[in-house]
Structure 1
């Protein structure tokens, strides 16, 4: 029995009527195309599904014909489709005269090539990561950008601004400003919904570590997952965002992964925990090393910190990203590492003590990133540090085992900071990307297209008047 026959049999058993194929565009959004189950056959795996790659941001219009090849190992019954639908992810190929060839700019291909490069280097054979998914859950979100009006408005019943006497639905259980961390019911109105989100993630094969309310009072949530192999976790990141947003919509709510959706409240990050293994042996543990970390782990940290400015172009690729990376909200702003210190860009969890769990987390990424590019870039930066033996301590990047926010202005000037804007991060990427193109992991064409697209986004955002500018300058 071939693959298509196996899938057709599953479709008969589950009364599936449609088969859906999900692809990732250059920015990290899922797009999809759906066919009736009667049209599904082995040719789909051989010849693929044709589509226009230029509309996904990859290719110029004159060379835009591509094919999507589904991966049967990713099939799952889509829980959000009213018509019984089997969904699959997969890969993208460029159409050739003979056989089609994998498209080197496609996100999944970049992440797979990064792992291949790691294995070819002999340094490690597995990169295992675990992101923390922070997001806000609102009752409503409205926005308009037009010549007449530029504004947005969000609301959630649990927000402190609804404490006023005339607020509709007021019940006295609003969450204080920046007071949401681990808050319990009845203040935590998203508690049951988060549990159901986690149950659906588990059903889809994503192992959940825990969930809780985060610091942001107006509905900031967090779901943290168990560690898994990097390419699989990139897939799981896409699935997790899909589940969270769709389940929120089913409840008449809206979930956003925007890094800084609320002024003066905590921003949402995508902290990435990571470790390397070789032949099943963890490479980041040394009981005699600083915080239990090996020299390999320190060199990996050195690579991340050496390239952190250009890395931000992939891990923090929105103008809004840099509104989160400011002092005072437990977000990292300085280039350094430390144990249990959330003000440094790299934090070593003190609770991870065993050789199998010894790791560190990179705290600057956020979920506007394309996870395949972001995770692959993180791996390539770390491998570069190992190859070049970049010692973070010798370069003055720590360890910073003190509160960086409380340093004097003179001391703060001695410590380098993260980029303060998307434009600054793109400038860094333009100047520093050789570590990404090693082994053909990131094609030069992809980096060029990425910089061009993101500069256009930054330019557009910079040209739009904001309400804050009216407040500060209207009467001058």
Structure 2
């Protein structure tokens, strides 16, 4: 037993923890949990806890159902919203097969595998997400529409505002769990908020995002509201994205930084961006996995619908933020297409794979977009070599289906299940008769 595991067992005894939840996600990024008694933890660390994997989306088929959850002691935290005595704690868990080998269907392992490939080249992948979400009243309107908790806008300071109190409570819980928060503010839509997590390695960030979603929903329920990470919950209002700043480090050196080069961006950084852009369309089904995602991407309001990059250009899919001369280590790239409802393990795995492909193959970075890409005509964008992102989940699925990069990164099991699930989602969506169609056609035709 290592020191971290010993620390966990000692803390559980000292703080009277009676319930330990082991967290993991299914292929779609939905948080799953199994509670174990403290007395079972020592064995769980050594051998894992058995469960029926066939009951979880995408983890196993019925004939290979027996699986294990193996807790990661480094992720141990007491759940602060369960502050009663006895207490409750959580750890993230890795999914294992009965022989102890990693499950190829575990999204956390998909990211670990991608990170290991980068580590073999001496590189560590760091990420910093800006997570947007909406806060709604607990009761819907009679027509079924959600009611935002306020009518404020971007950076608005509302006296005694619901958002202030909510963000303060959520951030306090996050920081009590060791998750550092960098910024928070009201976003552009009514009831829309943003909380930015501090830089961390990509695996820690993905774990933190899953914890973040749980904390936000718990605080919302405690305050009589509900929180949603749906990409586009309100017509005519901004969608909720998860802009993510990324960088690669070689030890303590930022591999994206080169003093004196344009925007202080190294050749490695330029090739990484080129990889993201070249493979953007085929990874979009993973970074934007819901039917509703494409209403955010194509709904304007600075959502990136076109494959291009720019310096401080917020209409571009990839942005190189303003460089701070005294902070070369902060040179980074912002990827603006992700949803805040994406599976972070899979999304960060395909982003890293695309960027690394650009580095490995020496991709050349195309010219930057200096104009507001949304204000250009289709002809102007074509003349500039700016292609669109997929316009629908159906389109994104077809592009992903032919992608060797995505298939290799996700692995055969996750790749096939993900496509099968998304095709079923699109078929169900296509079968719907919407209010729009009834309003437009019922009495006219």
Q: CA deviation at 1:425?
A: 0.9
CA RMSD of aligned residues (A): 1.9
Q: Normalized against structure 1, the TM-score is what?
A: 0.88
Is residue 352–residue 359 contact of structure 1 (8 Å, CA) maintained in 2?
no
2:36 alignment partner in structure 1: 35
Tell me, in whole angstroms, the C-alpha distance in 2 between the residues paired with 1:352 and 1:103.
Answer: 43
Give unmatched runs, 5+ long, in structure 2: none
CA 1:87–1:408: 2 relative to 1, 3 Å: closer
- After the TM superposition, which of the residue ranges 443-452 and 256-265 deviates more from structure 2? 443-452
Secondary structure of 1:190's counterpart equals helix
Is residue 340–residue 350 contact of structure 1 (8 Å, CA) maintained in 2?
yes
CA 1:352–1:152: 2 relative to 1, 3 Å: farther
1:156 alignment partner in structure 2: 148
Give 1:54-69 correspondences, 5 Å limit. 54-57=54-57, 58-69=59-70
| 1:441-472, Cα deviation, whole Å (9 max, x unpaired) | 42122211111111111111121221121111
Tell me, in whole angstroms, the C-alpha distance in 1 between the residues paired with 2:181 and 2:7.
Answer: 30
1:347 alignment partner in structure 2: 319
Q: 1:84 is matched with which residue: 84, 87, 102? A: 87
Q: 2:331 is matched with which residue: 335, 338, 358? A: 358
Secondary structure of 2:308's counterpart equals strand
Secondary structure of 2:211's counterpart equals helix
1:102 alignment partner in structure 2: 102
1:168 alignment partner in structure 2: none
1:164 alignment partner in structure 2: none
CA 1:65–1:183: 2 relative to 1, 3 Å: same
2:137 alignment partner in structure 1: 139
1:400 alignment partner in structure 2: 369
> Is 1:474–2:427 an aligned residue pair?
no
Tell me, in whole angstroms, the C-alpha distance in 1 between the residues paired with 2:160 and 2:318.
Answer: 32
Q: CA deviation at 1:2?
A: 6.9
Tell me, in whole angstroms, the C-alpha distance in 2 between the residues paired with 1:16 and 1:328.
Answer: 48
Is residue 27–residue 106 contact of structure 2 (8 Å, CA) maintained in 1?
yes
Q: 1:223 is matched with which residue: 187, 191, 195? A: 195
Tell me, in whole angstroms, the C-alpha distance in 2 between the residues paired with 1:142 and 1:459.
Answer: 27
Tell me, in whole angstroms, the C-alpha distance in 1 between the residues paired with 2:7 and 2:113.
Answer: 29
> Is 1:304–2:276 an aligned residue pair?
yes
Give unmatched runs, 5+ long, in structure 1: 145-150, 160-174
Give 1:186-225 correspondences, 5 Å limit. 186=159, 188-216=161-189, 218-225=190-197
Aligned pairs, number: 437
Q: Normalized against structure 2, the TM-score is what?
A: 0.94
1:330 alignment partner in structure 2: 302
| 1:130-160, Cα deviation, whole Å (9 max, x unpaired) | 010000011135499xxxxxx631013423x
Q: 1:239 is matched with which residue: 206, 211, 236? A: 211
1:377 alignment partner in structure 2: 350
Tell me, in whole angstroms, the C-alpha distance in 2 between the residues paired with 1:293 and 1:135.
Answer: 31
